[in-house]
């Protein structure tokens, strides 16, 4: 049977157009994308598309849209062999991370891509990104998908989605994954890095979680952070979990007011996850005096998780676990290959 891939166009530069009146890039509908990429008709598999209407700039992405996306994947899961999500680059790493936690027993590729220059422009990076993402989504051996994961494909590299970060607003190479190797590298050939691809061993049918809880805060510490700033964030109404971006291997100031504020929050049942501000490496709170205090007051190590994966993993766990104990246990294990442990 012929393979079928579904493109879900959410928005983003790849499908944007220069508005002559305002001179701003604005999203336009998917019909124009297919006009700009006639190659879509040349594959030896079928390509169909669904388009968000209106298309959304990814700065407007939020968990309700992730729920819409997983619903779309769920509704079309049996009919298609793989999915390509066209998405703005700005929050693509958040969406890829969120989807990895929301989709379960995934046996088919879900590949996110986009571009830095719109498809209609001569030097666009979008055409190669789109065409290769489609090839990867359709790649099979013995009718099994080669990469049954949520991934980002961008500029010749396929990354595990929940390991990515957008790090460059200008270069075509906009994403990196410092703590996990690429799942494929693309040149003349697409070279899959098989030992690093996650093949789910769980039996059971595919399903999608449809709840996310946004009671999460993100706090990046910096030299000079003040007590009122820290306290106002930790006391923000409704907050249930905080991603604390610390220095290096998970270090933070040891001022009494700083540790006291964190301890009070932990004692109130707020989950605090320590992630590093560095792009590569892991939190190891036991290494320095400036880390060990946080371990002692019950702050949880994020290991080598990205901030994007930390925020979305917490949203997923807060909405889908029954107790803080269950959340903490899940933070200390890899759910979808997001941490090395
Ligand atoms: N602002 C755009 C977006 O994220 C940028 C892009 O697509 O690269 O939707």
Alpha helix positions (H), the chain: 31-36, 63-76, 92-102, 126-138, 227-234, 256-267, 289-296, 307-320, 324-331
CA 117 to ligand 1 centroid distance, Å? 9
Q: What is the pLDDT of residue 292?
A: 83
Same fold, 4-208 and 216-331: yes
Q: What is the pLDDT of residue 29?
A: 63
Q: What residue's CA is closest to ligand 1, atom 7? A: 88
Lowest mean pLDDT among 30-44, 90-104, 187-201, 211-225: 30-44
Ligand 1 mutation target, pool 58, 86, 95, 113, most atoms within 8 A of CB: 58
Would you say the CB of residue 89 lies under 6 angstroms from ligand 1? yes
What are the pLDDT digits (tens) for 200-217? 776 789 999 999 999 999
> Catalytic residue numbers?
13
Q: What is the pLDDT of residue 204?
A: 85
Mean pLDDT of 167-182: 95
Would you say the CB of residue 57 lies under 6 angstroms from ligand 1? yes
Lowest mean pLDDT among 124-128, 182-186, 216-220, 319-323: 124-128
Residue 120 CB partners (closer than 8 Å, separation 6+): 17, 32, 36
* CATH, range 4-208: 3.40.50.1170
Would you say the CB of residue 144 lies under 6 angstroms from ligand 1? no
Which of 210, 116, 217 is CA-nearest to residue 172?
116
Q: What is the pLDDT of residue 25?
A: 75
State yes or no: pLDDT of 155 exceeds 90. yes
Would you say the CB of residue 59 lies under 6 angstroms from ligand 1? yes
Residue 283 CA to residue 276 CA, distance in Å, equals 6
Would you say the CB of residue 235 lies under 6 angstroms from ligand 1? no
Q: What is the pLDDT of residue 28?
A: 65
CA 163 to ligand 1 centroid distance, Å? 19
What are the pLDDT digits (tens) for 259-282? 999 999 999 999 999 999 999 999
CA 13 to ligand 1 centroid distance, Å? 5
What are the pLDDT digits (tens) for 271-327? 999 999 999 999 987 777 777 888 889 999 999 999 999 999 999 999 999 999 999
Would you say the CB of residue 149 lies under 6 angstroms from ligand 1? no
State yes or no: pLDDT of 33 exceeds 70. no
| Spans of all domains in the chain | 4-208, 216-331
Task: Report residue 312: phi and psi, to 5°.
Answer: -75, -30
Would you say the CB of residue 12 lies under 6 angstroms from ligand 1? yes
Mean pLDDT, the chain, rounded, equals 93
Lowest mean pLDDT among 211-225, 229-243, 284-298: 284-298
Mean pLDDT of 108-132: 93
Would you say the CB of residue 126 lies under 6 angstroms from ligand 1? no
Q: Enumerate the β-bridge partners of residue 300.
A: 273
DSSP result, 162-174: GG-EE--SSSS--
Q: What residue's CA is closest to ligand 1, atom 4? A: 88
**Closest ligand 1 atom to Cα of 115:** 8
What are the pLDDT digits (tens) for 41-74? 899 999 999 989 888 999 999 999 999 999 999 9
Q: What residue's CA is closest to ligand 1, atom 8? A: 89
Residue 193 CB partners (closer than 8 Å, separation 6+): 181, 182, 183, 184, 185
Would you say the CB of residue 125 lies under 6 angstroms from ligand 1? no
Lowest mean pLDDT among 11-15, 78-82, 107-111, 334-338: 11-15
Residue 170 CA to residue 237 CA, distance in Å, equals 37
Q: What is the pLDDT of residue 266?
A: 97
Residue 338 CA to residue 341 CA, distance in Å, equals 10
Ligand 1 mutation target, pool 19, 57, 65, 167, most atoms within 8 A of CB: 57
Distance (Å) of CA 227 to CA 79, 98, 261:
54, 32, 8
- State the CATH architecture for 216-331: 3-Layer(aba) Sandwich (3.40)
CA 74 to ligand 1 centroid distance, Å? 25
Q: What is the pLDDT of residue 278?
A: 95
């Amino acid at each position: 049977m012929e393979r079928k891939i579904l493109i879900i166009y959410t928005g983003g530069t790849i499908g944007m157009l220069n508005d002559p009146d305002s001179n701003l890039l604005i999203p336009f509908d998917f019909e124009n994308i297919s006009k700009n990429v006639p190659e879509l008709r040349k594959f030896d598999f079928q390509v169909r598309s669904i388009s968000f209407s209106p298309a959304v700039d990814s700065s407007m992405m939020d968990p309700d849209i992730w729920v819409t996306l997983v619903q779309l994947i769920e509704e079309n899961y049996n009919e298609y062999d793989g999915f390509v999500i066209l998405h703005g680059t700005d929050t693509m790493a958040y969406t890829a991370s969120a989807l990895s936690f929301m989709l379960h027993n995934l046996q088919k590729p879900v590949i996110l891509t986009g571009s830095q220059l719109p498809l209609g422009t001569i030097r666009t990076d979008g055409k190669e990104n789109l065409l290769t993402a489609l090839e990867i989504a359709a790649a099979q051996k013995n009718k099994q998908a080669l990469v049954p994961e949520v991934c980002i494909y961008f500029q010749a590299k396929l990354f595990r989605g929940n390991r990515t970060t957008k790090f460059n607003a200008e270069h075509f190479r906009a994403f990196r994954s410092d703590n996990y190797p690429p799942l494929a590298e693309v040149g003349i050939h697409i070279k899959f890095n098989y030992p690093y691809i996650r093949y789910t061993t769980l039996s059971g049918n595919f399903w999608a979680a449809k709840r996310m809880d946004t009671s999460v805060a993100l706090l990046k510490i910096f030299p000079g952070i003040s007590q009122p700033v820290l306290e106002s964030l930790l006391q923000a109404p409704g907050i249930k979990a905080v991603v604390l971006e610390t220095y290096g291997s998970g270090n933070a100031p040891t001022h009494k007011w700083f540790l006291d504020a964190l301890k009070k929050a932990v004692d109130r049942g707020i989950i605090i996850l320590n992630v590093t501000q560095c792009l590569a490496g892991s939190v190891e709170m036991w290494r320095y005096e400036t880390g060990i205090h946080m371990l002692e007051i019950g702050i949880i190590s994020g290991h080598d998780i990205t901030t994007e994966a930390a925020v979305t993993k917490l949203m997923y766990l807060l909405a889908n676990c029954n107790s803080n104990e269950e959340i903490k246990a899940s933070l200390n294990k890899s759910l979808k290959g997001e941490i090395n442990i």
